[in-house]
Chain A
Amino acid sequence: MFTHTAADRLKKMLAVALAVFVVLGIRLAWLQLYKGMYYGRQADGNRMRNAVIMAPRGRIMDIHGTVLADSSPGYVLSLQAGHAFSDQETELLARLLGLRKEDVREKADRAANTYEQIVIKGELTPQEITSLEEHMKELPGLSLDLQPMRHYLYKETAAHVLGYVGEVSETQLKQGKYKGLPPGSIVGKEGLEFVYDDVLRGKNGRKTEEVDVRGKVIRDLAGQAPVSGKGLVLTLDFGLQQELEQIMDKQLAALRSSGIAPNAYAAAAVAMDPNTGAVRALVSRPGFDPNWFVGGISSAHWKLINENRFHPLTNKVINGEYPAGSTFKVVTGSAALDQHKVTPEELIFDSGKHWLADMGNAGGEALGWINFQTAFAMSDNVYFYEMGRRAGIENLNAYAERYGFGKPTGIELPGESAGLIAGPAAKKKVFAEEWTLGDTFNAAIGQGLTLVTPVQICQMLAAVAADGVIHPPYLVEKVVNADGSVYQVPERPKSRKLEVAPETLRLIQKGLKGVTQPGGTGAWFANLPVPVAGKTGTAENPHGQDHGWFIAYAPAEKPDLVIACIVEQGSYGATAAGPVVYDVLQSYLTQRIKNETKKADEPIKKRDSLQ
């Protein structure tokens, strides 16, 4: 001790020290005792990660149980929540995965501000996983997980029926059927995947994991198992579907290479059972592989789809609107016969052109005195101009409406087009011109303003084949549980009676059968093992070559298959669409005969085995 001052000052220093400890102690008490629970929750928030366990999406099968779409585990790359990514990192990622830079950047920005990880790409290929692993050090904040992923087993096959899945978009989260879903959910975007999303999706599970600061899972804490989605059994017959697609592709290639129709890339065909409305096959061309969309489409694939001027994503069976061409003679014939404007026996003279207007047959030929049967089989225009004139445009349009034109058939696909039944009012509205006799003539042979979709045409022919009952087309036979038991049979539009007299229908049927016999426009169909009924059609196309139609039902007696086919810019129906329908029916009927003989043989075999 050397001075009094120093002693005094040391005492004051001790007092300061005491004050320091009191302050520290009070602050500790505040943090640990008063706010302890709050910080406890924060610590749990740090270490506990709530992860979603994706529910496997329900399978989609054809009528015989062939699986068309299922869920199998695939690698999914996600961005960890709360991790900030630099531009170099996002650009590297985009390059490695073949994604668009802006998309990756946008997802990275979202990841930085959320508490759930953001999926960047699903269904990584082994090559992508390898290249990612090589760059893992430059890319912290990523996690690679196994998740059930949608697989479309047969790629393009039935793509327009199945549709595809993808991550729910920002706009979808705000409105429509996906409103309020958690961001990043995988939902149906098109086709049946979209329409039946609620049953297919299932219920995601959750799990709570303890993770370290790098996101590595230390242990599982709690969880709830996911419930897988229900399955769909479709009306489609996979064998017929594949057949139709292969035949269609072959025919389109042949049309292009032969020079008959160099622009024949787009086409549509639909086949259904006229007795029920069950759609057996549905093809739209060009097609696409729905697998491309699973887990985010690559820019290369997107370019491929986007730059194809024939719109691969458009389902032309329900969204293609075309003039009906001569297939419309079913409607014109029905109107004229039903309203007794003509008798089947009455002969009308075809001099090559109608006597009231300078309009004639496509090839310029003249058939002379002909009755309804001949006119229908040979698709004579002059005869049907006269039918149109006698029936009048009002009657033509009324019958078109009876056959289901001008409104969607109600098939369970999103965004079906209604088509258009055009009369004087429509012409005035669109062209500000008066309706003329020439317009009625054109309407009578399906070259007017009226537009139809292939599925509507198919429904029309099916109504004739079913002796006057309209069974609207449908695609889903039943919704099934995982064990195959029926969960639900979806409600479908009711069957209704076609307001056309039975006698009229019999005459139309007779006409259709005549088409496929010697002398008809589809005479070579007579070579099929069983007689069939059909009609050719050529829809005038001001933008290019004409579209070729062919519609048919088989067998001619007690039919169980109706098929409608159109080849855009394929030229004459008989040459463009006819071969497709012929080949499909050939195979279908051969198979049918085989099955019938087998059925007949079976009881005998059983008896044999008993002995």
Chain B
Amino acid sequence: MRHFIRNSDWILILTVILLTGIGMVLIASATHGDALVAGTNRFVKRQGIFLAVNVMMAAGILMLDYHSLKRIAWPLYGITVLLLLGVMFFGHASLGAQRWIQIGPVTFQPSEFSKAFMIVCLAAFLDDRSDYLDQWKDYLPACLFMLVPFILVLRQPDLGTALVFAAITFSMFWICGFKMKWIAALAGAFFCAAPLLWQFLHEYQRNRIRVFLDPELDPFGAGYHVIQSKIAIGSGMLWGKGWMQGTQSQLDFLPENHTDFIFAVAGEEFGFAGAVVILLLYMLLIWRGLTIALNAEDRFGTLLASGITGMYLFHVLVNVGMTIGIMPVTGVPLPFLSYGVSSLTTNMLLAAVLQNINLRHTRLQF
């Protein structure tokens, strides 16, 4: 126990506690109207219950050694593929995409869990091959390894999660020594292939990109979310309108305000000051994640930690970027803040894995 207390990353723990706390406060505000009608806030309740369960699960993970994850990597890969296939055949649709699976009273999003599973699987896969990653061809097996789940989420269609897979892959490749010139070549290839990729996008996805470039194209349709989100955040100014006082979120001008657009609620009700505090907390989270990657006792730990951190960073960039109009709209939640038990559970478990890696750390600092 003394070992646990001494070797725990308390900054990480505190950051996660603060972020989940802020998340609850924002969800309470965003769902205030619903709570008034229902008499009780079912969203806060549900998120709270799952948070408690998640804390216990996290504690359980700390008891184990993260190295055991490597042993279950291949079964985990199989489970991931099965889950994603399951969504395809048994999932139910919402907002134009098939993403949910219902088991008893609980609906969950397998694509959220698949992010965590794929981090583990890829870390294990790369760890085994890390001595042979000199040529760009050496990365092809890993690419193929990721391609299967990538295509499955893309078929849902869930472009957001697919991009998260790409971000995870890229983070770990980078740590393994993926060369700058290869990145440049990939970027070049992407731009050349862009018109072809455009053909594979769904019409609503194309609209999101069109509207991202010019939201006024369709102010009451596809551009509506971004316009209203920018209005919400901008009108918060320095100090915000106060908790539960945001007119954009309280009067429902801002849709999805408790899930994907929760950051807009923060920006509107707590202003620039509140938004910056949240960004600083994420900065702390990333900093701790990378430090843990640096101090990990082995390559698997480093890969795991950098994959997790890369995923967090990508989520923050894409989600916050979307709410402030510098990223297209993709269904990527904000870690620890957005309402959604699948996302919360995934992020909590990954934070626990980070902590687990840290418990077996060496002492290096940036």
Contact = CB atoms under 8 A, between A and B. Distances in A.
Contact of A2 (B235, B271, B302): B302
A25 interface: yes
Contact of B247 (A10, A18, A23, A47): A47
Interface in A50-104: 82, 84
A43 B294 CA distance: 46
Interface string A23-44: 1110111011101111110111
A32 B302 contact: no
A17 B313 contact: yes
9 contacts: A1-B362, A17-B290, A21-B279, A29-B272, A31-B230, A32-B238, A40-B234, A46-B253, A218-B251
A24 B231 contact: no
Contacts of A27: 321, 324-326
B275 A28 contact: yes
Nearest to A37: B237
Contact of B310 (A13, A211, A218): A13
A212 B248 CA distance: 9
A24 B324 CA distance: 8
A429 interface: no
Given A32-B267, A46-B247, A212-B252, A13 B233 contact: no
A170 B233 CA distance: 40
A486 interface: no
- Chain B interface mostly helix, strand, loop or mixed? helix
A20 B316 CA distance: 9
A210 interface: yes
A11 B295 CA distance: 12
Nearest to B227: A42
Contacts of A356: none
A2 B131 CA distance: 12
A303 interface: no
Interface of A: 1-2, 5-7, 9-14, 16-18, 20-21, 23-25, 27-29, 31-33, 35-40, 42-44, 46-47, 82, 84, 210-214, 218
A42 B324 contact: no
Contacts of A16: 313
Given A2-B302, A20-B316, A21-B283, A32 B234 contact: yes
Contacts of B268: 43
B124 to A, nearest CB: 15
Contact of B237 (A12, A20, A36, A44): A36
Contact of B234 (A6, A11, A21, A39): A39
Contacts of A2: 298-299, 302
A214 B286 CA distance: 40
B251 A36 contact: no
Interface stretch (B57-65, B73-81, B103-111, B171-179): B171-179
B131 to A, nearest CB: 11
Contact of A6 (B175, B282, B310, B326): B175
Contact of B231 (A17, A28, A42, A214): A42
B100 to A, nearest CB: 25
Nearest to A23: B326
B145 interface: no
Range of interface residues on B (Cβ < 8 Å): 35 or more
A40 B237 contact: yes
Interface in B229-286: 230-238, 247-248, 251-253, 267-268, 271-272, 275-276, 279, 282-283, 286
B271 A212 contact: no
A190 B316 CA distance: 65
A2 B238 CA distance: 45
Contact of B324 (A1, A13, A31): A31
Nearest to B248: A43
B12 to A, nearest CB: 15
Given A2-B298, A14-B286, A24-B279, A36 B220 contact: no
B174 to A, nearest CB: 6
A17 B290 CA distance: 10
A28 B276 CA distance: 8
Nearest to A41: B235
A14 B287 contact: yes
Contacts of B346: none
A376 to B, nearest CB: 78
Given A5-B177, A9-B175, A210-B251, A33 B326 contact: no
A44 B247 CA distance: 8
B317 interface: yes
Interface in B200-223: 220
B320 A24 contact: yes
B20 interface: no
A578 to B, nearest CB: 68
Nearest to B220: A84
Contacts of B251: 46-47, 210-213, 218
Contacts of B313: 16-17, 20
Contacts of A11: 366
A508 to B, nearest CB: 75
Given A1-B294, A32-B267, A43-B247, A13 B306 contact: yes
B235 A47 contact: no
A38 B234 contact: yes
B263 to A, nearest CB: 10
Contacts of A31: 230, 233-234, 267, 324-325
A35 B231 CA distance: 10
B275 A21 contact: no
Interface string B327-366: 0000000000000000000000000000000000010101
